[in-house]
Amino acid sequence: MRRSAASRAALPAPRAWTTRLVVVGIVLTALNLRPAITSLGALLEEVRDGLGMSAGVAGLLTSVPPLCFAVFGVMAPRLARRFGPGAVVCAGMAAIATGLAVRPYAGNAAGFLAGSALALMGIAVSNVLMPVIVKRWFPDRVGSMTGLYSMALALGTSSAAAVTVPMTDALGGSWRAGLTVWAALAAAAVLPWIPLLRARPADSGTTGGGGVPAAGQRGMPGAGGEQGSPAGGVRASAGVAEPRPVAGGTTASTVSGTKASAAGASGRAAGPGEAVSAAAVGRGAAEGLRITRSRTAWALAVFFGLQATAAYVTMGWMAQIFRDAGVPAGTAGVLLAVTMVMGVPLAFVIPSLATRLPNQGPIVIALGISGLAGYAGLWLAPAAGAWAWAVLLGVANCSFPLALTMVGMRARTGAGVAKLSAFAQSTGYLISIPGPLLVGVLYQHSGGWGLPIALMAGLMVPQIAVGILAGRNRIVEDEARR
C-alpha cells in the first residue's frame, strides 16, 4: 500500500553525510561513463598494431557501444526493481573497472572485444539509472544535479581523450598501461556506493517500485554528443506530476495533475487513490498508443540513430583521422577532447532554445550545417584547420540534447513521452550500430579517409531532413489515432 503525502512528509531527512556521499557517487559515476570509449579512440592505432587488428575489426569495436546500450540498457529497470538502483550502479562501476583492467591484457582482438563489452555493460545500466538516483535523492534539485552530472560526464569524456596519450608516454609508452589506468578511476567510483546499498532517501515512496520508472521513462541529457541513456527525463511517479514543455512552448501537466486540479475546483483535496487511478489512466493510454503509426515518431527515431552514428564515429575514429594527416598523437587526443567538451555549454543552451520555438527545424539545420562544414574541412585540410574542424563537429554532435528535448515536446502526456522515448531511442541505437563498422571497412579497403568522410557527410543530409520533420509542431498521440 502506498504511503500518503502526509506520511511521506513526516519521514526524517536523510543524514547529511549520506547525501554528500550520494553526490560524490554521482560525480564519480558520471566521470566513468565515457573514458572506456574516448581513451581507446586516442590509442586506436597502437591497439590495432599490438593485437593485429584490421580496420574492419576496429570498426566492429567502435560499434560495440551502441549495441551494448541497446541490449543492456533495457535490463536496468528490472535489475533495479529487484536489487535497488544504488546496488546496480555499484555493480556497473565494478564491471567497468574489471573490463578496463582485463581488456588490454586479453592477448587477442576477441578478448579485447569481450573486455570492452563488459565495461560497456556497466556503462549502459549506469546511464539508465543515474537519473533515477538523482530524482530519488534530490527531488527538489533535479536541475542543478543534472547540470553537475552533465559537467562531470563531459569532463570524463574530454579528459580521457586529452590525457591518455601523455599518460601513456609517462608510463613508458605502453598502450596497455595507458588504457588500464582508467580502471582505477572506475574502482574508486565503486567505493561511495557500498555504504549506500541499504540507505534510502526520505521520500523514496514518490517513485514507486523502488524509484525505478517503467521502461522508457528514464534518461538525462548529457554533454558532448550522444550519451546512450534511453529516454527524455520523464517521471511518471505515482501521484506526482511534473510540468513538461510541449509543442508551441506551452506547459502540460500529467493526468494526475489535472485530476488534482479538478478536485480542488470542486472544493476538496485530491486523495492518493485519485492520483493512483490517474496514473493508471496514463499507463492505459500509453499501452493503447500505437507509436509506430506516427510519422513524427519514426522521424525522431531515424534522427536519433543518425546523430548517434556521427557521435560514435567521432569518438572512435576522429583522433585517428588527425593522426593519419600528420597531427601528433597527443594533439589528436586534445582535438578529440575539444570536440567532446563543446557539449558542456550547448547541452544547456540548445534545450532551452528549443522549448521556446514551435518548430525546431532551424536548430536542426544549424547543427547540420556545422557538421557538413566540419566534414568538408576534414576532407580538404584535416591538419591545417584541425582546431576549427574539431569545434564544428563538436557543435554538430550536440544534436543529442536536441533529440531528447524534441521527444518531450512531441507527446501530450507523460505516458506518451515515455513510449515515444523508448521507441525513438531503441530504434535509433539499432540504426547507429552499422555506421562505425562501415567506416572501418571503408577505411581498410580504400586506404584513406576520403570515402569514410564522404559517407558521414552524406548521412548528415538525411539527418537534417528527418530532423526537420521531427521538429514540426506535431503530437504523436494525434498521429497514432489517424
Which residues make Cβ contacts (< 8 Å) with residue 82, sequence separation at least 6? Answer: none
- Asked if pLDDT for residue 259 goes beyond 60, the answer is no
Residue 384 has pLDDT above 90, yes or no: yes
User: What are the φ/ψ torsions at residue 294 (nearest 5 degrees)?
Assistant: -95, 125
Q: What is the mean pLDDT of residues 128-147?
A: 75
- The answer to whether 158 touches 337, Cβ cutoff 8 Å, is yes
Global pTM reads 0.69
Q: Is a pLDDT exceeding 90 seen at residue 222?
A: no
Say whether pLDDT at 447 is over 90: no
Confidence of residue 119 (pLDDT cuts 50, 70, 90): very high
Residue 227 pLDDT > 80, yes or no?
no
> Is the model's pLDDT at 229 over the cut of 60?
no
pLDDT higher than 70, residue 252: no
The pLDDT of residue 199 is 62
DSSP string, 139-201: TT-HHHHHHHHHHHHHHHHHHHHHHHHHHHHHTTS-HHHHHHHHHHHHHHHHGGGSTTSS---
> Comparing 461 with 34, which gets the higher pLDDT?
461
Q: Is the pLDDT of residue 235 over 50?
A: no
Other C-beta atoms closer than 10 Å to the C-beta of 221 total: 26
- The SS3 assignment for 251 reads strand
Q: How confident is the model at residue 134 (pLDDT cuts 50, 70, 90)?
A: confident
What does each C-alpha distance from 378 to 313, 336, 390, 434 come to in angstroms?
A: 14, 13, 9, 22
Q: Which residue has better confidence, 266 or 24?
A: 24
Mean pLDDT, residues 20-25 taken together: 91
In the chain, the percentage of residues whose pLDDT exceeds 70 is 77
By C-alpha distance, which of 304, 316, 265, 329 is closest to 440? 316
Q: For the segment 348-371, what is each residue's pLDDT rounded down to a tens digit? A: 788 888 888 889 999 999 999 999
Burial group, residue 407, by CB count within 10 angstroms (0-12, 13-18, 19+):
buried
Averaged confidence pLDDT in the chain: 78
pLDDT score of 287:
55
Predicted pLDDT of residue 71? 82
Q: What is the dihedral of CA 399, 130, 298, 456, to 10 degrees?
A: 40
Predicted pLDDT at 184: 95
Q: What is the pLDDT of residue 218?
A: 39
- Calculate Rg over the CA atoms of the chain: 22
12-29 mean pLDDT: 82
Provide the 10 A C-beta neighbour count for residue 7: 11
Does 32 score more than 90 pLDDT?
yes
pLDDT given at position 94: 97
d(CA 317, CA 323): 10
Q: Place 254 in a pLDDT band, splitting at 50, 70 and 90.
A: very low
302: pLDDT confidence band, cut at 50, 70 and 90? Answer: very high
Model confidence band, residue 375 (pLDDT cutoffs 50, 70, 90)? very high
Cα–Cα distance between 68 and 74 in angstroms, integer? 10
What is the arithmetic mean of pLDDT over 3-12? 46
- All three cell numbers of 209: 517500485
Name the nearest CA neighbour of 33 among 155, 213, 165, 203. Answer: 155
pLDDT of residue 388: 96
DSSP classification of residue 206: G
Supply the pLDDT for residue 237: 34
- Calculate mean pLDDT across residues 209-232: 42
pLDDT, residue 264, reads 42
pLDDT bracket for residue 482 (50, 70, 90):
low
Nearest to 39 by CA among 187, 164, 171: 164
DSSP secondary-structure letter at 16?
Answer: H
Most confident of 37-41, 73-77, 276-280, 283-287: 37-41
d(CA 14, CA 137): 9
Q: Are 216 and 421 in contact (CB under 8 A)?
A: yes
- The string of pLDDT tens digits covering residues 161-220 is 889 999 999 998 899 999 999 999 999 999 999 988 876 555 444 443 344 444 334 344
- φ/ψ (deg, to 5) at 67: -65, -45
